[in-house]
Amino acid sequence: MAVHGVSRSTRDLDLFVIARECLSPAYWDSLRTAEFDVNIQEGDTEDPLAGVVRLTAADQPPVDIVVGKPAWQAEILSRATETEIEGISVPVADPADLILLKLYAGGPQDAWDIQQLLACEERSAVIRGVERHLEALPEECRALWARLRS
């Protein structure tokens, strides 16, 4: 959100991946020995995500590894562009793709985030970007989009 100019009170960093191996405790064994706490939450069949891994270390903001499920989410990763954040180059979803992910999550904070992302100078282009890929999302996501647009 911050990369796209939306200021929030949280300091955590969210990373989005499709790699389900992140949900295996063995994947994180080397970090656990380096004084990191690793909390793995696997999603169930009804969850829109495969799961979330929260990494925490003393005196550092947490890092959430959000593990996606559907194929359309992999397409978002393929469209991400490299952006430098605190000296590190990382792929970042554009505002339209971030809105698609927020629509899929569908919570109250996600709706607020969407409204903030739409309050930009490129609003028309962002809306076109969302609507270009909206059909890949479930009906309830499209209904939320319609409510937020009205």
Tens of pLDDT, residues 45-65: 888 889 999 999 888 889 999
Please give the tally of structural domains in the chain.
Answer: 1
CB 25 within 8 A of CB 74: no
DSSP β-bridge partners for residue 13:
63
CB 68 within 8 A of CB 49: yes
pLDDT of residue 35: 80
In this predicted model, what pLDDT tens digit does every residue of 77-101 receive, in sequence order?
999 999 988 888 989 999 999 999 9
The pTM assigned to this predicted structure is 0.84
Q: Which residue has the tokens 């397409």?
A: 75
For residue 86, the enclosing domain spans 2-149
Q: How far apart are CA 56 and CA 118, in angstroms?
A: 31
DSSP β-bridge partners for residue 83:
90
pLDDT of residue 8: 65
